Amino acid sequence: MRPLDEADLIRKAQRGDPAALALLLQQHYLPVKKYLVTITFDRTLAEDLTQETMIKAIERIGQFQGRSRFSTWLMAIATRQYVDWLRREKRARLAVVRAADEQPLWQAAPSAEARSLMAALQALPREVALPVVLKHYYGYTYEEIAEWMEIPVGTVKSRVFNAVRALRRELGQDDA
């Protein structure tokens, strides 16, 4: 018997097969968590958002239409969970900068330049840092980012442009 490919798992999960759904989500759990650690700079928050993302995926598996890769669909859900969290935090006026001195998971021993970049990125407001990470670290399009953050494409482009300029200035790489 051949192993099930992702498309087979998705079809089975959409038909209500709990084992297929569990396997599908297990295969994507760590990449989603790593992505959320990258954009939140907070392992604990990333774990919570990963759980929320998986719950939303379970609830909405029937809505997955295959227009994108399953991983992209999960990243969109994860991004929405994070954006929603940011909105809740803003409304509650809670401090959102927590993990400035935590080492990111994606790099075991970051160079001094990488640490400087991460510190400068963490100093940016999260609604500005998020589009930069999505665009330049993960390679998502401006349109995808705009949809996930529920803001105009022009706003995403402006935030990315201005954030990159600010990061270059902060790192002493401003050629202007």
pLDDT tens track for 43-96:
999 999 999 999 999 999 999 998 999 999 999 999 999 999 988 876 654 333
Q: Global pTM?
A: 0.63
- Helix H, strand E, coil C: the string for 114-171 is HHHHHHHHHHCCHHHHHHHHHHHHCCCCHHHHHHHHCCCHHHHHHHHHHHHHHHHHHC
CATH number of the domain at 8-101, please?
1.10.1740.10
Residue ranges matching CATH 1.10.1740.10 in the chain: 8-101
Return the pLDDT at 24.
95
For residues 57 and 75, what is the distance between their CA atoms, to the nearest angstrom? 10
Residue ranges matching CATH 1.10.10.10 in the chain: 107-176
| C-alpha to C-alpha distances, 70 to 37, 39, 53, 101, 132, nearest whole angstrom | 20, 20, 13, 33, 23
CATH class of 107-176: mainly alpha
